[in-house]
């Protein structure tokens, strides 16, 4: 199984296959607009702008599970991200990333954990690096700033 086997809901609530990203290096991140880690949007956008022409995509899944730090509708979240952080990468419908209602994509992502990494999502801005083959090749916890793992993304893009 790879990430390309999953379907998720876009911001309009329509199902989309992640197979559309086949052959690209992906960074999947659960986000929140009112979190202490929200400033990472700036670094994520910088990474996206620098690497998108090399086959890199960021898939943003807003999540309101952690102390209600992603309030508002999907459209309101999109406006905050677009206007405040000027993000241009793909954002999907607000979703559940842990617990009994976790979406299948996040069930799979967390089952691919590396030795020593927690299985469950602890907080907003947990990031998963996905290879061009659709496999999880890295996991970065919320405190891991994008500028600290951009080299790993660049290396993955060379493969």
Catalytic residue among 35, 70, 105, 130: 35
Q: Which of 82, 47, 81, 78 is nearest to 156 (CA)?
A: 47
Mapped onto helix, strand or coil, the DSSP state of residue 89 is: coil
Q: Is 81 a catalytic site residue?
A: no
- Between CA 14 and CA 4 the distance in angstroms is 17
Residue 1 CB partners (closer than 8 Å, separation 6+): 108
Please give the positions annotated as active site: 35
């Amino acid at each position: 199984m790879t990430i390309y086997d999953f379907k998720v809901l876009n911001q309009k609530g329509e199902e989309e296959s992640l197979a559309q990203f086949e052959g690209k290096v992906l960074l999947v991140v659960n986000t929140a607009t009112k979190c202490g880690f929200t400033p990472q949007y700036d670094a994520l956008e910088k990474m996206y702008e620098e690497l998108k022409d090399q086959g890199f995509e960021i898939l943003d899944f807003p999540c309101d599970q952690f102390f209600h730090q992603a309030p508002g509708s999907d459209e309101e979240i999109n406006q905050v991200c677009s206007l405040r952080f000027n993000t241009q990468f793909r954002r999907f419908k607000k979703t559940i990333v842990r617990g009994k209602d976790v979406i299948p994509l996040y069930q799979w992502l967390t089952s691919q954990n590396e030795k020593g990494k927690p299985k469950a999502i602890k907080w907003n801005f947990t990031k998963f690096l996905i290879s061009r083959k659709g496999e999880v090749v890295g996991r970065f916890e919320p405190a891991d700033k994008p500028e600290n793992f951009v080299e790993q993304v660049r290396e993955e893009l060379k493969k």
